[in-house]
């Protein structure tokens, strides 16, 4: 170590030593994140930083050494600033952030949600009818008496109202929770734009005892086609196309006469049992047939109620539940599972999105 005879020379030695140390430090530094770069800036080139301090030391350097010291200090300044700019531009180009990310690590697995089995079945049915030109229509779940009953040829005290145990809204006895999605069909017919070809999916409510087979709310999908010259043959062919697409080519159907106040004639449609294929099982109650929907030609009175000329126009309608086919398709044996939101149940349908 140099022993310095004069105090100011001694100070000069110290300063030169410091500059050398800082130079080495800066050369060996490698900065690749914004926070460290800011710390560096404040320490070396900031207004109260090392560079600034060294420059104020010039006055303590003996005159004959000022030039040598000044040159060295300028070199150091250039190095400190150049390194700063270099790191800053790599960081600005994003390389800095990237270099902190280990792209070879496996990604985080995020829990995946899944479609509800009712939605999946509903979408399957919609897809098939959309291919035939049916548009999806929606309507309110809280409905007035007219749209749910009266317009559908179910005037007050009509015995068929008992078929659909209704939830009424306490504040206003004219309001109720819709018992079927036929209310949507009335609302669309009232708009008067013909021809009309819609399917109406939605949730419906009936005051039934909750059990493995029935619930106080469930889902329906109804269809309506109104135009000139629509016949029962069109209805049969449309529904036949639907079940073929839904269940496959070897499906068989049969129509049984039935009664609905809003259709005349009315029918119920069965398919051959897709579980036992005729051998006999619980689902088809050993008959080989499973009922899947109700249908018929729209009653002229319903058309008139909606302002449609029943001499000019005819139409067909059908309605089916969504829970039943979903239970058959996915092997679900209790209807309550659909609405319990048990993740263990719901996550089983992930692969079927
Ligand atoms: N609205 C009927 C029901 O809920 C279903 C249906 C619709 C029947 C259209 C015939 C025609 O039971």
pLDDT in tens, 182-200: 999 999 999 989 999 999 9
Q: Tell me how far the alpha carbon of residue 301 lies from the centroid of ligand 1, in angstroms.
A: 16
204, 319 contact by CB (below 8 A): no
**Ligand 1, pocket residues at CB < 6 Å:** 180, 182, 222, 260, 263, 294-296, 317-319
pLDDT at position 5 is: 57
Domains in the chain: boundaries: 5-99, 117-346
Find the 217 Cα to ligand 1 centroid distance in Å: 16
* Whether pLDDT at 331 is above 90: no
* Residue of 149, 205, 222, 264 with the most ligand 1 atoms within 8 Å of its CB, for mutation: 222
Residue 353's pLDDT band (cuts 50, 70, 90):
very low
Position 97 pLDDT exceeds 60: no
H-type alpha helices, 57-144: 63-92, 95-100, 117-131
Atom of ligand 1 nearest to the CA of 266: 10
The pLDDT value given to residue 3: 52
pLDDT tens digits, 267-309: 999 999 888 888 888 888 899 999 999 999 999 999 999 999 9
Give the chain's mean pLDDT: 90
* 55-64, 121-130, 181-190, 308-317: least confidently modelled range: 55-64
State how far the Cα of 227 lies from the Cα of 312, in Å rounded to an integer. Answer: 8
Ligand 1 centroid distance, CA of 157 (Å): 19
Give distance in angstroms: CA of 340 to centre of ligand 1: 27
Nearest-CA residue for ligand 1 atom 7 is 319
Residue 318 has pLDDT above 90, yes or no: yes
Ligand 1 probe mutation, 161, 317, 320, 321, most atoms within 8 A of CB: 317
222 CA closest ligand 1 atom index: 7
Which atom of ligand 1 lies nearest, measured to the CA of 163? 12
Which residue, judged by its Cα, is nearest atom 2 of ligand 1?
319
The Cα-based distances of 324 to 10, 62, 131, 236 in angstroms read 97, 100, 23, 21
List the residue whose alpha carbon is closest to atom 6 of ligand 1: 319
Choose which CATH entry (1.20.120.1200, 3.30.70.2190, 3.30.930.10, 3.30.1490.100) describes domain 117-346.
Answer: 3.30.930.10
Average pLDDT over residues 150-155: 93
12-21 long-range contacts (CB < 8 A, ≥24 apart) are: 12/60, 12/61, 12/62, 12/65, 12/69, 15/54, 15/57, 15/61, 15/69, 16/69, 16/72, 18/54, 19/54, 19/72, 19/73, 19/76
The reported pLDDT for the residue numbered 130 is 97
pLDDT at 101 over 80: no
Tell me the HSE value of 193 on the side-chain side, using a 13 A CA sphere.
Answer: 5
What does the alpha-carbon distance between residue 110 and residue 325 come to, in Å, rounded to a whole number?
32
Which pLDDT tens digit goes with each residue over 214-248? 999 999 999 999 999 999 999 999 999 999 999 88
- Look up tokens 């006999």; give the residue: 280
Tokens read off for 213: 């087979």
Distance from C-alpha of 327 to C-alpha of 325, rounded to nearest angstrom = 5
**Crossing angle for the helix pair 323-330 and 117-131, nearest 10 degrees?**
110
Q: How far is the CA of 319 from the centre of ligand 1 (A)?
A: 4
- Mean pLDDT of all residues in 108-131: 92
Q: How far is the CA of 295 from the centre of ligand 1 (A)?
A: 6
Which residues make Cβ contacts (< 8 Å) with residue 170, sequence separation at least 6?
A: none
């Amino acid at each position: 170590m140099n022993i310095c005879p004069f105090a100011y020379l001694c100070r000069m030695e110290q300063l030169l030593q410091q500059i050398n140390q800082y130079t080495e430090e800066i050369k060996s530094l490698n900065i690749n994140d914004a926070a460290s770069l800011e710390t560096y800036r404040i320490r070396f080139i900031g207004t109260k930083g090392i560079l600034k301090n060294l420059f104020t030391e010039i006055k303590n350097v003996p005159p004959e050494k000022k030039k040598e010291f000044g040159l060295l200090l300028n070199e150091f300044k250039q190095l400190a600033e150049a390194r700063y700019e270099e790191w800053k531009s790599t960081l600005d180009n994003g390389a800095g952030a990237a270099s902190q990310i280990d792209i070879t690590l496996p990604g985080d697995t995020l829990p995946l949600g899944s479609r509800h089995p009712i939605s999946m079945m509903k979408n399957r049915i919609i897809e098939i009818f959309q291919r035939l030109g049916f548009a999806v229509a929606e309507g309110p779940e809280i409905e007035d008496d007219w749209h749910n009953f009266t317009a559908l040829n179910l005037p007050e005290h009509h015995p068929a109202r008992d078929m659909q145990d209704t939830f009424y809204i306490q504040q206003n006895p004219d309001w109720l929770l819709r018992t079927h999605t036929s209310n949507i069909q009335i609302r669309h017919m009232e708009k008067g734009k013909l021809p009309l070809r819609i399917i109406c999916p939605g949730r419906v409510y009936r005051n039934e005892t909750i059990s493995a087979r029935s619930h106080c709310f469930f889902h329906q999908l109804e269809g309506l086609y109104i135009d000139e010259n629509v016949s029962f043959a069109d209805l049969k062919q449309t529904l036949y196309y639907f079940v073929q697409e839904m269940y496959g080519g070897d499906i068989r159907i049969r129509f049984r006469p039935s009664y609905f106040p809003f259709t005349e004639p009315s029918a119920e449609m069965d398919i051959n049992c897709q579980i036992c294929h005729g051998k006999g099982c619980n689902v088809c109650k050993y008959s080989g047939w499973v009922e899947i929907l109700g249908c018929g030609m729209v009653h002229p009175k319903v058309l008139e109620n909606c302002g449609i000329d029943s001499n000019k126009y005819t139409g067909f309608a059908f309605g089916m539940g969504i829970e039943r086919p979903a239970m058959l398709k996915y092997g679900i044996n209790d209807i309550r599972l659909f609405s319990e939101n048990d993740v263990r149940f719901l996550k089983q349908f992930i692969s079927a999105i």
